[in-house]
Amino acid sequence: MKERVRAQINQRFTRSDYQVFLYDEVAKRLNERLDIVTLEPDAILASGFGEHRLEKRFPSASIISKIDFAHSRMLVRTNRSRFRLPWRIKVVNLCGDLSALPLSSTSVDLVYSNLDIPFFDGCDALDDVLREVHRVLRPGGLFIFSSLGPDTLKELRPIDGIRGLRLCRHLDMHDLGDRIMGVGFADPVMEMEELKLTYSDVLALLRDVRAHGSEPFDLGEQRGLSGRAEVRWLSESLKREHDGQIAVTTELVFGHAWRTAERASPNGRKVIDIKVA
């Protein structure tokens, strides 16, 4: 399934007409959540698309690793120049899998993920991602992320399944918080915002639906709404229901959680909690 996801993302992000507005806007709002966090990370792992500007926010960091499992997005953001001034933060671009990180355990202070979760949830690898993030974080490290909620594209729900239209049901923020705690994170904070997007034409909407992981990846080669009649039908349906506009809701989910610091006994031995079911 992940290979199919990778192939589809590579196809979508190499299109010359692809717009990154949603990713940049969500990254901007995710960055604002860092304002309330007291953390001076030395090693940072950044995943997903969008302008995160972590170099400017954490100038004392020694390394920022940017990882993505779709090589097309890595090519878009790879620095063309290999020259680096000695006092600048070292930035490393990695094409890897967030659910199988090529990093050693307890080697990162901050993991930043922008709109990755819908893709990994769509291919049943979300728990692997959360476990890997928890593994690479140092005790006291922070995982901060954005995702999409179940009210995303709610205007399309009444016609979901009609004439080939298929939509994902994104994870509720409470369920996502439970999954995060289930792998060992502590003190999760979850927030939700709604963003209304207006499109000039329905094809632009469909490109975004596919680009941010709201179309099921298990459809394979079966594509609906590919003919002119289907596209015209969807456009007319949306305009009729929404005062002549092609406008949809995007439910944004933001959250952060901590890897708890290791506890020690008075004689300095590590304390391990054992839960009995």
Residue by residue, DSSP assigns 51-107 as ---HHHH-TT-SEEEEEES-HHHHHHH--S-----TTSPEEEEEE-BTTB-SS-TT-
Overall pTM surpassing 0.85 (yes/no): no
pLDDT of residue 81: 43
Residue 58 contacts residue 40 (beta carbons within 8 Å) = yes
Residue 180 contacts residue 254 (beta carbons within 8 Å) = no
Residue 182 inside a domain? The answer is yes
Higher pLDDT, 233 or 70: 233
Residue 230 inside a domain? The answer is no
Residue 232 inside a domain? The answer is no
Q: What's the average model confidence in pLDDT over 124-137?
A: 95
pLDDT of residue 88: 66
Domain range spanning residue 13?
2-149+169-194+252-258
Q: What's the average model confidence in pLDDT over 123-146?
A: 95
Q: Which of 47-56, 84-93, 133-142, 212-221 has the highest mean pLDDT?
A: 133-142
Higher pLDDT, 68 or 140: 140
Residue 83 inside a domain? The answer is yes
Least reliable range by pLDDT among 20-24, 49-53, 99-103, 241-245 = 241-245
Counted domains in the chain: 1
Residue 95 inside a domain? The answer is yes
pLDDT of residue 229: 81
Contacts of 173 (CB under 8 A, 6+ apart): 147, 149, 190, 191, 192, 253, 255
pLDDT of residue 163: 66
pLDDT of residue 44: 97
Query: Band of the pLDDT at 251, cuts 50, 70, 90?
Result: very high
Q: What's the average model confidence in pLDDT over 260-265?
A: 66
Residue 112 inside a domain? The answer is yes
Higher pLDDT, 78 or 181: 181
Residue 275 inside a domain? The answer is no
- Percent of residues, the chain, with pLDDT higher than 70: 76
Query: Band of the pLDDT at 89, cuts 50, 70, 90?
Result: confident
pLDDT of residue 4: 64
Give how far the C-alpha of residue 77 lies from the chain's centroid of Cα atoms, to the nearest Å: 16
Q: What is the largest distance, in Å, between two alpha-carbon atoms of the chain? A: 74
| Count of other CB atoms within 10 angstroms of residue 65 | 22
Query: Band of the pLDDT at 139, cuts 50, 70, 90?
Result: very high
Instruction: List b or e across 9-38, with b for residues whose CB sees 16 or more CB atoms inside 10 angstroms.
Output: bbebbeeeeeeeebbebbbebbbebbeeee
pLDDT at 109 over 70: yes
What gap in Å lies between CA 62 and CA 23, rounded to an integer? 26
Q: What's the average model confidence in pLDDT over 183-196?
A: 95
Query: Band of the pLDDT at 84, cuts 50, 70, 90?
Result: very low
Average pLDDT in the chain = 81
Closest CA to 195 of 67, 2, 27, 19: 27
Residue 263 inside a domain? The answer is no
Tell me the two tokens of residue 27. 């990254």
pLDDT of residue 106: 97
CATH code for the domain of 7: 3.40.50.150
